[in-house]
């Protein structure tokens, strides 16, 4: 029989548990409210977009194991991931010895400390929160010298343009940390990658490098990252780091509407185990054994109100059940979750194609020059996207494919003016044969109309909304204000001085701007663009100030209002929208040829064997459209982003002169798509493939493309 005292004690314990549970909910709600109250400008500057407990629990369940004793989040925010990791460890009975955080913002660090001292950690462990810059060596003085069993973080995404000059300081600080914390091969690798990552990289790239070096050998790295980690050229150092220094275990991908409702791209969870130093010392190019990683896609159907996985896995800890499912060699079908093998060998082949010429690759991968065995790749090797590989027959010869760039076809981005609000105007009508009336941007005054010489206006295809009319022969109203041959009166003295030195005739000089146009340009020169303290006069904007240059022996001076000379990528032979909501579709730039804006990716070739019709026919083949669908970046709203970096490495067949000529003929009028497909796919599948074989392959290819497109759009509405 239970004593009265025992009953009271049981009731008290239950009430205490309820009170603790309520307290945990309260402090997490407080942290969420804190995040929502952060100023938008601060969130953008510091990349303060926190993970949240639901997603944190998923990542923690995948990353925490019985050997996890020391955990660090070097970009901790309000503590979501450390809270989730400590909760997972406590639930599993894993005793933590260290729970450390670094947070650069003082008030956020205080929120993180308050939170972690009030949530369940287990034992008498006291979390330690360091308020400081994770890229400054002094911040690391009190961290564990031997590294951490688990480094779990959501690296801040801050575009390089928003770093406000901090980029060089971040790189130098990271370099110093590498020199102090690492040695041997590890130090050499991190040093090369730190010195070699692109100056165009966003903050997440050095943040990833920093987080990875803080993992001890055999420890785990667990990250929340945008899906663009595999598509951005500047993130190639990250792909290499994972292949060289880690054993990638899991990639978990969200689908629509996504784990972050305001995210522009999908989110990936990365879990990888750091290799022992001896394995890390071996270049990737001589590797013979390639363990396979698991790629898992999680759809909204897997979620319930309490958990992102609650509908797929029953029980009190669906995240733990999901983690066990991922680690199991036999995985039964579950609601809203699909998995596939992710070939690290193929990942290396694809990376080598894209990054082979980079100095850091040449420094860290000397094996090929020495004739070493292992995976070999060069600029003429192309990788078939994972989503299409199973469609290819066993007889397929990979040598039939090459990257688009190796086929003599270039891909780039259309016109970026640096300030469309000045350089783009809207055609209203004509005053006479030589003067047109244009409407300027509202920033210069609502409905302002300026007369400008007709020869300073060039039609430009600015938006997809203008496509249909342009294809029907109607030029868009948007014009580029091209002032390369027009100068403000006050700037003519510089022009005359340079012209006299060069002995130029007056006919070779730019004209003086008419009064009303000159007044508009002067006003624009004093107009500030941007918000608050970030507002700048147009001539001082980063992509405008580079227009100006002093006169040289062979060139006249140029001024901020003069765009650089147009390049082939601005007047291409074909183009495709960078953001696609339906299926990929390439357009021929003909009848009439027009300037193409940066909202489009562009194609051109110097090979005179190609016609515009033939090039467009190749790019609109079922093969190329499927490859585009499979390699583009899937955005948060169900759209597909096709950037030049994707397109340059797109696998296309080697086509001889006869095949190119046939495509040129078949592409006329854009009608005979079946014949175009046969020409392209015969080159891929080989001469032994009959027309019926090719037609059947085309059908499967189009079905797969449609399925991929439907998958990215699912739930977007």
**pLDDT of 566-606, one tens digit each?**
999 999 999 999 999 999 999 999 877 899 999 999 999 99
What mean pLDDT, rounded, does the chain reach? 87
Whether pLDDT at 361 is above 90: yes
E strand map for 462-532: 478-481, 486-487, 511-512, 528-529
pLDDT band of residue 7 (cuts 50, 70, 90) is: low
Evaluate if residue 372 carries a pLDDT over 50: no
Q: Are residues 654 and 692 in the same domain?
A: yes
Count how many domains the chain has: 2
For residues 708 and 598, state if they share a domain: yes
Q: Which of 547, 581, 605 is the last residue of a domain?
A: 547
Of 297-301, 365-369, 665-669, 688-692, minimum mean pLDDT range? 365-369
Q: Assess whether 510 and 461 both reside in one domain.
A: yes
- Cα angle vertex 324, ends 312, 63, to 5°? 110
Let me know if residue 471 belongs to a domain: yes
**pTM for this one?**
0.76
Regarding whether 495 and 608 lie in a shared domain, the answer is: no
Please, what is the Cα angle at 241 between 240 and 246, to 5 degrees? 120
Range of the domain at 663: 402-413+567-713
38 has pLDDT over 70: no
The reply to whether 617 and 488 lie within a common domain is no
Among 493, 519, 547, identify where a domain stops.
547
In a domain, 493, yes or no: yes
Query: Tokens 């050997």 identify what position?
Result: 67
pLDDT class for 8, splitting at 50, 70, 90? very low
Domain final position from 519, 547, 575: 547
Assess whether 579 and 705 both reside in one domain.
yes
Where do runs of H (alpha helix) occur along 270-423? 277-280, 318-327, 344-355, 359-364, 386-389, 420-423
663 plus 586 within the same structural domain = yes
Chain-centre distance for alpha carbon 600:
16
Span 85-106, mean pLDDT? 92
Percent of the chain with pLDDT over 90: 60
Domain match, 619 and 537 both: no
Give the model's pLDDT for residue 380. 61
pLDDT tens per residue across span 415-473: 999 999 999 999 998 777 789 999 999 999 888 999 999 999 999 999 999 999 998 88
Q: Tell me what the mean pLDDT of segment 10-27 comes to.
A: 50
Q: Which of 608-612, 630-634, 637-641 has the highest mean pLDDT?
A: 608-612
Tokens coding 206: 């050095």
Which residues, in sequence order, are CB contacts of 690 under 8 Å at separation 6+?
A: none
Residue 11, pLDDT score: 38
Evaluate if residue 2 carries a pLDDT over 80: no
On whether residue 513 sits in a domain, the answer given is: yes
> Is there a single domain that holds both residue 670 and residue 573?
yes
Residue at 268 is within a domain: no
Cβ atoms of residues 231 and 274 within 8 Å: no
Residue 296 lies in a domain: no
> Average pLDDT of 329-335?
92
Per the domain annotation, does 159 fall within a domain? Answer: no
* Residue predicted with more confidence, 542 or 280: 280
Residue 661, in any domain of the structure: yes
**Residue 596 has what pLDDT?**
98
What three-state secondary structure class fits 381?
A: coil
Calculate helix-pair angle for 344-355, 236-245, nearest 10 degrees. 140
Mean pLDDT value of segment 46-75: 86
From CA 199, how far away is CA 197, in angstroms rounded?
7
Least confident of 20-24, 35-39, 116-120, 618-622: 20-24
Say if residue 4's pLDDT is above 80: no
Task: State whether 520 and 587 are in the same domain.
Answer: no
Residues 616 and 671 both lie in one domain = yes
Judgement on whether residues 484 and 573 belong to the same structural domain of the protein: no
Q: 183 in a domain, yes or no? A: no
């Amino acid at each position: 029989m239970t004593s009265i005292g025992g009953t009271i004690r049981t009731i008290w314990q239950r009430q205490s548990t309820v009170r603790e549970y309520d307290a945990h909910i309260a402090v997490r709600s407080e942290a969420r409210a804190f995040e929502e109250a952060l100023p938008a400008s601060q969130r953008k500057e510091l990349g303060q977009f926190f993970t949240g407990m639901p997603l944190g629990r998923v990542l923690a369940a995948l990353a925490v194991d019985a050997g996890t004793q020391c955990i660090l989040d070097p970009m901790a925010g309000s503590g979501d991931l450390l809270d989730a990791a400590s909760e997972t460890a406590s639930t599993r009975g894993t005793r933590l010895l260290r729970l450390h955080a670094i947070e650069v913002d003082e008030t956020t660090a205080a929120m993180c400390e308050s939170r972690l001292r009030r949530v369940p950690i287990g034992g008498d462990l006291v979390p330690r929160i360091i308020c400081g810059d994770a890229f400054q060596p002094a911040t690391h003085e009190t961290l564990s010298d031997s590294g951490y069993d688990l480094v779990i973080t959501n690296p801040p995404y801050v575009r390089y343009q928003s770093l406000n000059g901090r980029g060089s300081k971040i790189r130098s600080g990271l370099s110093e940390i590498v020199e102090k914390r690492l040695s041997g091969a590890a130090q050499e690798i991190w040093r090369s990658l730190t010195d070699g990552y692109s100056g165009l990289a966003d903050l997440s790239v050095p943040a990833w490098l920093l987080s990875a070096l803080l993992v001890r050998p055999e420890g785990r790295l667990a990250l929340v990252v945008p899906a663009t980690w595999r598509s951005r050229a500047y993130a190639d150092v990250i792909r290499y780091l994972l292949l060289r220094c880690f054993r990638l275990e899991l990639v978990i991908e969200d689908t629509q509407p996504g784990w972050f409702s305001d995210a522009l791209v999908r989110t990936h969870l990365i879990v990888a185990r750091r290799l022992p130093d001896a394995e890390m010392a071996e270049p990737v190019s001589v590797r013979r054994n390639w363990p396979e990683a698991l790629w898992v896609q999680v759809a909204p159907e897997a979620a319930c109100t309490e958990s992102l996985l609650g509908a797929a896995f029953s029980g009190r800890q669906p995240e733990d059940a999901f983690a066990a499912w991922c680690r199991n060699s036999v995985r039964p079908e579950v609601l809203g979750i699909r998995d596939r093998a992710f070939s690290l060998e193929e990942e290396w082949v694809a990376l080598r194609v894209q990054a082979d010429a980079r100095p850091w690759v040449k420094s860290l991968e000397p094996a090929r020059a020495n004739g070493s065995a292992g995976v070999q790749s060069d600029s003429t090797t192309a990788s078939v996207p994972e989503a299409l590989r199973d469609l290819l027959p066993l007889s397929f010869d990979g040598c039939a494919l090459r990257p688009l760039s190796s086929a003599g076809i270039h891909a780039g981005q259309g016109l970026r003016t640096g300030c469309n609000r000045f350089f783009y105007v809207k055609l209203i009508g004509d005053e006479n044969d030589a003067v047109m009336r244009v409407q300027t941007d509202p920033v210069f005054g609502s409905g302002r109309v300026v007369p400008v010489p007709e020869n300073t206006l060039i039609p430009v295809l600015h938006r997809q909304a203008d496509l249909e009319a342009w294809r029907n022969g109607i030029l868009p109203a948007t014009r580029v204000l091209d002032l390369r041959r027009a100068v403000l009166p006050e700037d003519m003295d510089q022009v005359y001085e340079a012209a006299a030195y060069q002995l130029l005739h007056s006919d070779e000089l730019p004209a003086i701007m008419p009064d009303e146009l000159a007044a508009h340009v002067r006003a624009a020169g004093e107009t500030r663009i941007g918000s608050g303290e970030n507002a700048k006069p147009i001539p001082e904007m980063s992509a405008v100030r580079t227009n100006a240059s002093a006169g040289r022996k062979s060139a006249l001076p140029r001024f901020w209002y003069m765009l650089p000379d147009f390049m082939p990528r601005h007047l291409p032979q074909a183009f495709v929208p960078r953001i696609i909501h339906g299926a990929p579709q390439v357009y021929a730039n003909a009848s009439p040829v027009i300037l193409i804006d940066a909202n489009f990716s562009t194609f051109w070739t110097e090979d005179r064997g190609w016609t515009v019709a033939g090039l467009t026919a190749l790019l609109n083949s079922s093969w190329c459209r499927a490859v585009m669908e499979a390699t583009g970046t899937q955005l948060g709203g169900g759209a597909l982003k096709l950037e030049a970096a994707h397109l340059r490495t797109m696998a296309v067949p080697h086509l001889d002169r006869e095949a190119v000529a046939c495509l040129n003929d078949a592409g006329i009028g854009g009608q005979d798509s079946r014949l175009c497909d046969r020409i392209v796919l015969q080159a891929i599948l080989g001469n032994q493939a009959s027309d019926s074989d090719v037609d059947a392959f085309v059908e499967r290819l189009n079905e797969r493309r449609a399925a991929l497109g439907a998958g990215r759009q699912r739930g977007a509405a």
